[in-house]
C-alpha cells in the first residue's frame, strides 16, 4: 500500500496564494490527471474501507470533490453512494444543516430518504482543514438515522485542527496524506 500512497503523494499539486494570499493550496486534481495515480488512489480508498468498515452500507461524498471518491468506492464495494450538497441542489425532501465558515455560514443538505435508519456510513472528502463541513455532514447523516463509522479524507491540513474537532465529538478520522506546515 505504501507504493500507492507515495505515488499519490508525489502528484499532489501546490499553488501558492490560492484562493487568497498566504495560502498554499494542495490540489488533488493534479494527481487525478494521471491514470496510474487514479488507480493507486482507488486501491488505497477501497482497501481502507474494506478493512476498517466492512459493514458499511453507504458512502457519503461531500460536494464537490468528495463525489469523485464516493462513487468509485461504492461501485467497487457494491454499496450505496449518497451526496451531500449545498442548499438547493438536491431534489425532493431534504434535511438541512447550517454550519460556520471562516467568514459567514453555509447550508448542507441530504435527501431525507437516502440512508435507512441504522445503516453504517463512511463519509469522504478530498481534504480536511477546520472540520466544519465534515462535522455538518456527520450531523446530517445522524439526523436521518445513519451511523457514521468513519470520516476519510485524502489530504489533511493538521495545523487547522479539523481532526481534533471531529474526534472530540466521537467521530473517527482517517487521512492518507498529512501536511503540517500549511497556513
6, 33, 50, 65: which is the annotated catalytic residue? Answer: 65
14, 100, 102, 163: which is the annotated catalytic residue? Answer: 102
Give the torsion through C-alpha atoms of 152, 155, 160, 165, to 10 deg: 0
Q: Is 183 one of the catalytic residues?
A: no
Number of domain units in the chain: 1
Range(s) of the domain holding residue 113: 54-179
pLDDT attached to residue 182: 56
- In this structure, is residue 12 part of a structural domain? no
Q: Is 102 one of the catalytic residues?
A: yes
- For residue 100, the domain's CATH number is 3.40.50.2020
pTM above 0.85, yes or no: yes
Which DSSP state fits 114? S
- In this structure, is residue 160 part of a structural domain? yes
Q: What is the pLDDT along the chain (183 residues), one digit of tens a residue?
A: 589 999 999 999 999 999 889 888 999 999 999 999 999 999 999 999 999 999 999 999 999 999 999 999 999 999 999 999 999 999 999 999 999 876 789 999 999 999 999 999 999 999 999 999 999 999 999 999 999 999 999 999 999 999 999 999 999 999 999 999 755
pLDDT attached to residue 28: 96
- In this structure, is residue 5 part of a structural domain? no
Give the chain's length.
183
pLDDT attached to residue 1: 55
- In this structure, is residue 9 part of a structural domain? no
- In this structure, is residue 80 part of a structural domain? yes
Could you tell me where the DSSP H helices lie in the chain? 2-10, 29-32, 35-52, 65-77, 132-143, 162-168
Amino acid at each position: 500500500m505504501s507504493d500507492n500512497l507515495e505515488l499519490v503523494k508525489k502528484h499532489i499539486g501546490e499553488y501558492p496564494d490560492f484562493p487568497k494570499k498566504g495560502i498554499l493550496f494542495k490540489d488533488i486534481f493534479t494527481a487525478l490527471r494521471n491514470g496510474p495515480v487514479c488507480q493507486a488512489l482507488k486501491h488505497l480508498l477501497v482497501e481502507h474501507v474494506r478493512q476498517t468498515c466492512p459493514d458499511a452500507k453507504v458512502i457519503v461524498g461531500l460536494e464537490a470533490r468528495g463525489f469523485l471518491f464516493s462513487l468509485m468506492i461504492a461501485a467497487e464495494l457494491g454499496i450505496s453512494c449518497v451526496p451531500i450538497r449545498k442548499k438547493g441542489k438536491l431534489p425532493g425532501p431534504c434535511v438541512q444543516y447550517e454550519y460556520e465558515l471562516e467568514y459567514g455560514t453555509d447550508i448542507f443538505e441530504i435527501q431525507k430518504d437516502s440512508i435507512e435508519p441504522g445503516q453504517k456510513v463512511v463519509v469522504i472528502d478530498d481534504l480536511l482543514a477546520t472540520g466544519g463541513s465534515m462535522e455538518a455532514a456527520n450531523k446530517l447523516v445522524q439526523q436521518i438515522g445513519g451511523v457514521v463509522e468513519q470520516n476519510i479524507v485524502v489530504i489533511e491540513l493538521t495545523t487547522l485542527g479539523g481532526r481534533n474537532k471531529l474526534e472530540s465529538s466521537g467521530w473517527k478520522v482517517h487521512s492518507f496524506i498529512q501536511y503540517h506546515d500549511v497556513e
